Amino acid sequence: MQATRRFSCSALSVATLLLLSASALFADTPPPAKTPPPDIYDRQADGEKQIATALAEAKRDHKRVLLQFGANWCGWCHKLHDLFKTNRAIKETLLYEYVVVHIDVDKVDGKQHNEKVNARYGNPMKLGLPALVVLDEDGKQVVKQETGSLEKGNAHDPIKVLGFLKEWQAKPPTADEVLSAGIAKAKSESKAVFVDFSAPWCVWCRVLDGYLHKPEIAAVIDPAFVTVKIDIDRFKGGKELCGKMGGGSSGIPYFVVLDGRGETVGTSIPPGGKNTGFPGTPEEITYFTSLLKKAAPKLTDAQLKTLKDGFDKAQPAGKH
């Protein structure tokens, strides 16, 4: 019995020592460092070039540009950015109505980054970060907004943020008016017309848009065509116009090629076939370039080759 007590006492002592040693070990170990959030702002980007690119897109889509001034060290900038990404209603409004540009105003090599851009729009960073500026499609400043009033507690209020975005979004144009303006412009410039039916949610529409406006492709298409983009979701009468021009239930992207007189040369639906959408096979690419050549006969073989080669660099081939 005595031996048992000695054994128990010895085991308790060892266990106690191990526990105390482990406690001391963990007490000396610092807590794991928090992983910093991914950067939002490009500290090397030229804000003026960023805005020029955004305005070109906004002009095509008849949207507004939302400039978000901030810096990667700014906690509230990350909070607003996260809200933009995670709140469904806000995310959809931004996708449909705005081209968002993140303007970095941190110090780079001791100098404020994008100082001229900040000055051009009335020093929005003076309001605190993040600060918002809305531009119309022509680059005119519509509103400058501090974001403190959009906060609630330790976060931004989704209702207030959504209300701000809804208040300053552009009035959607009428599809018929956009098309008529494009045809009139083409006639005055002796060009053909490329009508592009799309919607903000359509991934392959964005791929086609990116293809059409790549510098080497635009250098071929822009001198010969006026590109008219019709958003079937946002533009009034967009779906109806798509149906009138042969789209119907064919899916998007759907395009129509018109000659200089505004007469239809062809659509993205080849004779006896289905909607090409974004051309992905050699046959689809050949059909696409043949339509452009028919509408703009002055396109050279070298230019047509540039158009064909551009598809290989745009996205992997495949039906969609």
pLDDT digits (tens, 9 = 90+) for 27-54: 556 666 678 899 999 999 999 999 999 9
Domain contains 41 = no
Which of 168, 191, 213 is at the close of a domain? 168
What pLDDT does residue 163 have? 98
Quickly list DSSP for 55-123. Answer: HHHHHHHT-EEEEEEE-TT-HHHHHHHHHHHH-HHHHHHHHHHEEEEEEE-SEETTEETTHHHHHHTT-
pLDDT digits (tens, 9 = 90+) for 41-97: 999 999 999 999 999 999 999 999 999 999 999 999 999 999 999 999 999 999 999
Cα first-last separation, the chain: 82
Tell me the residue range of the domain where 97 lies.
Answer: 47-168
Query: What type of residue is 25?
Result: L
Q: Same structural domain for residues 221 and 273?
A: yes
Which of 115, 133, 168 is at the close of a domain? 168
CB-side neighbour CA atoms (13 Å) of 10 = 6
Query: What type of residue is 168?
Result: W
- CA 108 from chain centre, in angstroms, equals 26
pLDDT over 70, % of the chain: 87
Domain contains 18 = no
pLDDT at 119 over 60: yes
315: its two tokens: 């996205």
Domain contains 75 = yes
- CA 262 from chain centre, in angstroms, equals 31
Q: Same structural domain for residues 57 and 129?
A: yes
Domain contains 24 = no
In this structure, are strands 192-198 and 225-231 parallel, antiparallel, or unpaired? parallel
pTM of the model: 0.86
Number of structural domains, the chain?
2
- Evaluate the omega torsion of the peptide bond into residue 200 and state whether it is cis, within 30 degrees of 0: no
Cα–Cα nearest to 117, from 44, 46, 25: 46
Q: Same structural domain for residues 191 and 159?
A: no
Q: Same structural domain for residues 160 and 274?
A: no
pLDDT digits (tens, 9 = 90+) for 178-233: 999 999 999 999 999 999 999 999 999 999 999 999 999 999 999 999 999 999 99
Confidence band of 3 (pLDDT split at 50, 70, 90): very low
What pLDDT does residue 320 have? 41
Domain contains 11 = no
Q: Same structural domain for residues 72 and 125?
A: yes
Q: Same structural domain for residues 148 and 206?
A: no
pLDDT at 177 over 80: yes
Helix runs in the chain, H state only: 2-28, 47-61, 75-86, 88-97, 115-120, 158-168, 175-188, 203-212, 215-221, 238-244, 282-295, 301-314
Q: Same structural domain for residues 310 and 216?
A: yes
Domain contains 12 = no
What pLDDT does residue 34 have? 76
Domain contains 236 = yes
Domain contains 8 = no
Q: Same structural domain for residues 57 and 135?
A: yes
The domain that contains 123 carries what CATH number? 3.40.30.10
Q: Same structural domain for residues 99 and 52?
A: yes
Q: Same structural domain for residues 299 and 187?
A: yes
Which of 144, 168, 192 is at the close of a domain? 168
